[in-house]
């Protein structure tokens, strides 16, 4: 997007979200935008921040830590970890992020809980669910979700906020909605099971399927290319 500034594409993304919420008969404040800044330079994050964006999503730990270090003057920025999470990364994630969207096994949750620094608020977490049962290897199965949620709710340094999914891309709006509808009903199930937990988050929808996700109740849509343009290949 050579002639479009980040401020402009961010404004377009906001309008797109507002329009999608209105079309779904939902309140304009019902969902928010997570700016996915993976592979984008710190300067781009800074521009989006200057245009009012506060929540940023990163997938690759080292890249994220480097970026955070050069942006530590940005007060009020909120970092979400949305990439695959292995045991050897949990400590840095527990120390440097406010949210994690990709918990799919109890072992990772237990480590994050133990490693979350006492001086920080509990870590907000979403469980990643493999609803479409597609090729993707990550995500807990719907069958194993209740047991994982039970384990996470019991961890004092984690705050279970909801569910996340990353379905296989599709151009068909009806097919796009199916996994999102399933995620929504799984969240309903968890709300009944854990009425005390602050389960208010459905992290679903990206640049290609935001509208379908919003129709099915998304509260947080994760937009990368729609805000920052195409990603360069990873170095």
Ligand X SMILES: *Cc1c(COP(=O)(O)O)cnc(C)c1O
Tell me how far, at minimum, the Cβ of 166 lies from ligand X, in Å.
5
Q: Which of residues 88-117 bind ligand X (CB under 6 A)?
A: none
Angular region, 173: left φ>0, alpha ψ -120 to 50, beta rest = alpha
Assess 152 for contact with ligand X (CB under 6 A): no
Among 91, 159, 225, 229, binds ligand X (CB under 6 A): 225
Question: Could you tell me which residues come within 8 angstroms of residue 75 by beta carbon, excluding any fewer than 6 positions away?
Answer: none
Is residue 222 close enough to count as binding ligand X by CB under 6 A?
A: yes
Q: Which of residues 125-144 bind ligand X (CB under 6 A)?
A: none
Residue among 81, 127, 79 nearest 103 (CA)? 127
Among 9-17, 112-120, 145-153, 219-227, which window interacts with ligand X (CB under 6 A)? 219-227
The reply on whether position 16 binds ligand X by CB under 6 A is no
For position 207 contacting ligand X by CB under 6 A, the verdict is yes
Q: Are strands 158-164 and 32-36 parallel, antiparallel or unpaired?
A: unpaired
The bridge status of strand 123-128 relative to strand 99-103 is parallel
Q: Which is nearer to ligand X, 114 or 134 (CB)?
A: 134
Of positions 129, 166, 187, 204, contacts ligand X by CB under 6 A: 166
Residue 62 parent element (H or E):
helix 61-70
* CA distance to 106, 131, 200, 223, per residue, from 210 (Å): 29, 17, 18, 8
Span of 24-32, 140-148, 189-197, 206-214 interacting with ligand X by CB under 6 A: 206-214
Q: Does residue number 36 form part of the binding site for ligand X (CB under 6 A)?
A: yes
* Contact flag: residue 9 with ligand X (CB under 6 A): no
In the complex, what is the shortest distance from the CB of residue 213 to ligand X, in angstroms, rounded to a whole number? 11
Cβ distance 54 to 77 under 8 Å?
Answer: yes
Between 66 and 191, whose beta carbon lies closer to ligand X?
66
Pairing label, strands 55-58, 78-81: parallel
In the complex, minimum distance from the CB of residue 209 to ligand X, in angstroms, rounded to a whole number: 9
Per CB under 6 A, does 38 bind ligand X?
A: yes
CB 129, CB 166: distance < 8 Å: no
Q: Taking every pair of C-alpha atoms in the chain, what is the biggest distance, in angstroms?
A: 50
**Which residues make up the interface to ligand X (CB under 6 A)?**
36, 38, 59, 82, 166, 206-208, 222-226
């Amino acid at each position: 997007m050579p002639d479009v500034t980040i401020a402009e594409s961010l404004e377009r993304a906001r309008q797109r979200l507002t329009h999608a919420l209105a079309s779904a008969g939902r309140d304009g404040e019902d969902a928010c935008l997570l700016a996915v800044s993976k592979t984008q330079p710190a300067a781009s994050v800074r521009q989006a921040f200057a245009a009012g964006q506060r929540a940023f999503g990163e997938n690759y730990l080292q890249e994220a830590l480097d970026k955070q270090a050069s942006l530590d003057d940005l007060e009020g920025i909120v970092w979400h970890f949305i990439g695959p999470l292995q045991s050897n990364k949990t400590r840095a994630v527990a120390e440097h992020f406010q949210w994690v969207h990709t918990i799919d096994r109890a072992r990772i949750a237990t480590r994050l809980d133990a490693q979350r620094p006492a001086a920080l608020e509990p870590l907000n977490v979403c469980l990643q669910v493999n609803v479409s049962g597609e090729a993707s290897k990550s995500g807990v199965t719907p069958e194993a979700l209740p047991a994982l949620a039970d384990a996470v709710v019991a961890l004092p340094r984690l705050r279970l906020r909801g569910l996340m999914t990353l379905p296989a891309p599709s151009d068909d709006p009806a097919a796009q909605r199916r996994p999102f509808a399933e995620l929504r009903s799984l969240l309903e199930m968890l709300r009944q099971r854990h009425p005390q937990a602050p389960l208010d988050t459905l992290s679903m929808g990206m640049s290609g399927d935001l509208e379908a996700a919003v129709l099915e109740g998304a509260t947080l849509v994760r937009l990368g290319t729609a805000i920052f343009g195409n990603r360069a290949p990873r170095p």
